[in-house]
Structure 1
Amino acid sequence: MTARADSLPDAAPRNWVDRHAPGWLRPYARLARWDRPIGWWLLLWPCWWSAALAAIAAGRSFPVLWHLAFFLVGAIAMRGAGCTYNDFIDRDLDAQVARTRMRPIASGAVSARQAAVFLVLQALVGLAVLLQFNAFTIWLGLASLLVVAFYPFAKRVTDWPQVVLGFAFSWGALMGWAALFGGLGFAPLALYAGAIAWTIGYDTIYALQDREDDAVVGVRSTARLFGGRARLGIALFFALAILLFGLAFVAADAGIFAFGGLAAAAAHFAWQVATLDPRDTASALRRFKANSTTGWILFVGLLLDAALRF
C-alpha cells in the first residue's frame, strides 16, 4: 500500500483522509493534521495525566469522565487550529523544505484567506469546549494562547524552539488539575515542567528529519544545536521528565501503580534513545510517534492507582 501523491510524507500510508474524505475536505484535513493523529495525542496526554493525577489527590477512583471527553475534543480542535496558524506563518519557509513543501498553504491547495476562516472555525470549537469548565480553568486556557501565538516565530530567533513548543503543548498538565480543583498547586506545576522536558525530547527527535533543510533556510532547533550529541541531549531531557513526573506523583500522594507506570515509561524512553538513528529520518519519525505509547503507559498507571489504591 502506498500513499497518495498529494499526501504528506509523515502521514500514514492509506490514512482515513486519503481513503474516505471527500476531495474538497482533504486539503483542510491535512492542514489540521487529521491524517496525522499523533499531534493531538501528544497535546491530549498532559490533560489526561493531569485529570488522573487530580483524581488521585482528591481521593476519586476515576477522573471526571466529561472532563476527559472535553479534553479530547479540545485537543483535536486546538491542535488543528495551531497547525493552521503555524502553516499560515511558515508558508514561505515550508515551500523551501522537502518534507513540508506540499503542505496545503505552501502548495496553494488552500489559500491564506481560506486558512484564516478555517482557523477561526476550529478556534470556536476550542472555545466552546473551554467554556464548559470553571472560571479559573477558562482564564488559564485563554492564557495559553499567548504561548501558541509566539511559537511559529521561535525557530527564527532561538536554538530552543522546542522549549516554546513545550510550554504550549504541555499546558494541559495544568488544565486537568484546575478543572477539578479550580486552582493549581505543586503537583500540576511539576507535571507541567516534566511534560515540557518530555516535549523537548520528542520534538528534538522529530526535528532530526529536517536538520539539513533547516540549515539551508535558517530554521533553528535543538536537533541542530545538539548536532552529533542529539541522542545524549534527548536522553537528558527524557530523564529530567521522569524526575519531574516523579515529584508530581509524590506531591499528589500517588501510589505504587502510578510509580510502576513511571518506571515503564522510563524503560520506554530508554528504548527510544537506544534504538534511535539520528541520521535515519524514518527511524526518527517512528521514535517520535512512539511517544503516544509513553502517554498510554503513564495514563494507565495513574488510572490503576486511582482505582485500586483504596
Structure 2
Amino acid sequence: MRFRPLRPASAITADPIEVPEPPERMRAAVIDAPGGPDALHLGELPVPTPVLSELLVRVVAAGINQIDAKTRAGAGLSGSLKDFPVALGFDFSGIVVKAPYESHPLQPGSEVFGMVPFPRSGGSYAEYAVVPSLSVARKPSTLSHVEAAGVPLAALTAWGLVVETARAHEGQRMLIHAGSGGVGHFAVQIADYFGAHVTATTSSHNTAWMRELGASTVIDYATTRFEDVVSQMDVVIDLVGNAHEQTSTRSLRVLRPGGLHIVVPTGASPGYAEAAEAAGVRATGYKVVPDGSALATIGRLLDSGSVQVYVDKVFDLADAAAAHAELELGHARGKIVLRLSDD
C-alpha cells in the first residue's frame, strides 16, 4: 500500500483575508451597577484578547434577551458580575478578526454568529468580543447580521427544548406558552418542522402570525383559559412560569399521565417538580447550551426557509437603554436587536 505524502503546511493554509487590526479600546453599552434600563449607557472598554481556541470577533449586531434585562436589573446572572463597568449580552453576529491558528476553518473575514460566554467574559453589547470557537457557526448567507444576531440564544433554547428534551415527532401534542416571543416563535416553527401538533398561547394581535408559523391551535390568553380548551398534551413548553397567573400550575392539568412539563424561566415556578410528581407527570427545567454544531443545523434551516427569524425592532448601540425598556414592556414580537455597525 502506498501512502500519499503529507502536504506542507503552506498548502493547507487558506490565504488570509485582510482584516484591520482592532483598536486598543472599543465602544460598549455598559452598566456601572444593577438598575433600571437607564443604567445602560455608552462607555469604553479594552478590546479583549483571545486565548487558546477562542476567536476575536468584530460585532456587527447583538441580540437582546430577557436574561440580559434580568441581569441588568440585579437578578438573573448579576451575582456573577465582579468587575464594573461591564457590557451585557450573549448573542452576536459579526466578522472574525483573529483565528486560533492558520488553518482554523474560521479565518479572519469569516461571517459568524453565536453566543459569547457571558458573564465569564464581557458581553456582546460591544464592538469586539471573544468567543469559544465551538460556540459559533457560519452566519446563514440569506440573513443580514441584524437578523442573524436575533437567532443564537433564542433558537438554541428552542432547539434544546423541542428537539433534545421533548424529542419532537410526528403527531406529538405540544403546548407552547408565549409562542410569539423570542424563544417561542422558534419553538413553534421547530416543533411544526418535526411534525408535532402545536398549540400556542399568545396575545390577540399575534394569533394569525402564530398560525403562519405552524401552530395548529392558537389561544388568546387574554380571553381564553388554555385549560378550558386543551387536554391530554404530551408536552408543555412553559416560557412563562407561575409569575403570571399560575401558568405552570395550570399547565399540569392539561398534560396526559406521564406527560412532560418543561419550565424555562429560572425561579418562576418554585416547587414545580414536587407539584408535577403529585400530578403524575414529569417535569424539568432547562438551560441553553451554546452548541455551535446545533447552531449550524439551525442555520441550514434558516437558509432553506424552513425556519424564520422575526426581528421586531432594531436600536443603535447608543440606544441600548431604550431597547431594554421596549423589551420589558413585554409586547415584542420575535426579537429586539442592537446594531453596532453597518453589515
TM over 0.5: no
More contact order relative to length (CA 8 Å, sep ≥ 6): 1
CA radius of gyration, larger in:
2
TM-score bin, normalised by smaller chain: under 0.3
Structure with more of its chain in strand, by fraction: 2
